[in-house]
Amino acid sequence: MVVSLKDIAARAGVSLSTVSNVVNGYRPVGEETRVRVQSAIDELGYAPNLSARHLRLGRTGIIALAIPELDNPYFAELAGAAIREATSQGYTLVMEDTAGSYEHELSMIDNSRRQIVDGLIFSPVAVSREDVLARPPATPMVLIGEGVYDVPHDHIAIDNIAASHVAVQHLVSLDRYRIAFIGAQAGDHRQSAHLRLRGYREALAGAGLPWDPALAAPTTAFGRADGLMAMRDLLARTQPPDAVFAYNDLVAIGAMRAVAEAGLRIPEDVAVIGIDDIEEGRFSNPTLTTISPDKEHIGRLAVQSLVARIEGKPVEPPYDVQPPFRLVTRESTLGGQRPVRT
């Protein structure tokens, strides 16, 4: 038997409009009345028809999450958080893997592709600020990551420079003085790599260590194989590094493989730290020290911000939010010492 709002009103002894206000959260309702209505909802087992509600409001009830690498564990974990929050808000979240393609990313901000969704959470790496400004979206958009700045959309990204400072300072505290960075990029489209390299250089300067361009190893992408190849090159040099700050955990895990292949020890010969705190790093051998962004917070906040824009809730003008991060020390820098979180 399908339970209607009319059934709830009869059970609770209130008007149909009062039940509607409680169910939809339209107007303040007295606490005693709200409890009585909620009790009737629970007793009768009422489940709202979210599709019908969205259609009445001229919405589809669908939001999109566009990310550059679905097979990257960082994005997979972030997507899981976003899906959970979207479900709790009564929305369906669909995912799009752009593969970092300029054309694919451009199509995501093209209005014709956005008609079937109420809003977009977008992690761009190829499109520029000018591309985004040239295509005012027909639906709300929230940006995550470091691809595009200074646009009239909510933007959520960790402070990459500060995170890099923490990573390098940790290595310096362990008396490492030839610290390499793996993941340097040419051009401006890999914004996060530029920010992390900048933070690395600033931290070296703060520690009184010289900047050696030869220790900034470039990669074509940010996967395990990229870290492996870059680390092999670094180890083949006359003065190899005694520590590595990798662009992300996948690069770091590839670098650790190269160190092991060379017959060297981690961390005794080379200490390694990454960014992302993916699950793989907690089970690698050795386990990986990392900078851990709060992925659950990022995914949850992105959905909350987008839904607020979709539903026209009172919100501040477009804002930039920097979610928290922490240093998680493990065997790749501490060896057998007890890991700590800061």
Are 56-158+295-324 and 160-292+326-334 equal in CATH topology? yes
Q: List the chain domain ranges.
A: 5-48, 56-158+295-324, 160-292+326-334
Mean pLDDT check: name the lowest of 58-67, 297-306, 322-331.
Answer: 58-67
pLDDT at position 177 is 94
The mean per-residue pLDDT over the stretch 167-181 comes to: 97
**Does residue 204 or residue 317 have the better pLDDT?**
204
pLDDT at position 196 is 94
| Enclosing H/E stretch for 183 | strand 179-184
Give the count of beta carbons closer than 10 Å to the beta carbon of residue 230.
27
pLDDT digit string (tens) for 78-115? 999 999 999 988 899 999 999 989 999 988 887 655 56
pLDDT digit string (tens) for 68-78? 988 899 999 99
Task: Say whether pLDDT at 54 is over 50.
Answer: no
pLDDT classification of 336: cutoffs 50, 70, 90: low
Q: Which fold has domain 160-292+326-334?
A: Rossmann fold (3.40.50)
Task: Say whether pLDDT at 209 is over 90.
Answer: yes
Q: Which fold has domain 5-48?
A: 434 Repressor (Amino-terminal Domain) (1.10.260)
Q: What's the predicted TM-score (pTM) here?
A: 0.80
State both tokens at 127: 């499109």
pLDDT classification of 30: cutoffs 50, 70, 90: confident
Task: Say whether pLDDT at 217 is over 90.
Answer: yes
Helices (H), the chain: 5-12, 16-24, 31-44, 50-56, 73-88, 102-108, 129-134, 160-173, 191-206, 224-235, 249-261, 279-283, 295-310, 331-334
For the chain, the average pLDDT equals 88
Q: How many CA atoms lie within 13 A of 225 on its CB side?
A: 2
In this structure, whether the domain defined by 56-158+295-324 belongs to CATH 2.50.20.10 is answered with: no
